[in-house]
Amino acid sequence: MVNYGNAAVNGMSLYDIAVDTKDYLVWSQGDANSCVRNGWRYWEHSAGPDNSANQWPALALAEAATRWGIDANPVAKAQQDGWLSASQYPGTTGHGGGFCYTYCGSANYARTAAGVIDHQWVGTPIGDSRVQRALDYLERNFFTTASDGNTRNFYAMYGFYKAMKLYGTSD
């Protein structure tokens, strides 16, 4: 039981807090009437998802499922999968396989790592062509030093690490 901090959680178990957090995150996903598929941004019910923010709810929801068996509504996963399809560049060269910021700017390393995290959360197998194209993008751009690259970018490297860890990739 929690007995410190915010009065709203005092007396609750960590499990109950995790369930409330899951409910909030699923509820806060972008609205269905959005101009693009549902996802998350920086506030509830945003009309335009953002791949730089999408990984954080997915990481929390994946941990709730792994640690406590708390699974999100399948509709939330389907909506997120729609956003992933809408925000990934086609092809296998240049930006191909990479994920953009919103609909659809330039791809970068951190947002592509976030896209892989999200694919794992929605249940996309690692052998799926969408995941493979994203992994190929990450491999092609691993040593890129520009502002959209990975080298010396802790944010991008953390996303890459979490994506590989969630899929259980060892090499």
User: What does the pLDDT look like over 21-61, one tens digit per residue?
Assistant: 999 999 998 866 555 567 888 888 877 788 889 999 999 99
Task: Inform me whether the pLDDT recorded for 145 exceeds 80.
Answer: no
Mean pLDDT of 67-83: 91
CA distance 91 to 107: 12
CA distance 11 to 2: 5
CB-CB contact of 84 with 119 (8 Å): yes
* Residue boundaries of the structural domains of the chain: 15-167
Average predicted confidence (pLDDT) for the chain: 88
CA distance 143 to 152: 9
Q: Which two tokens stand for residue 53?
A: 């923010």
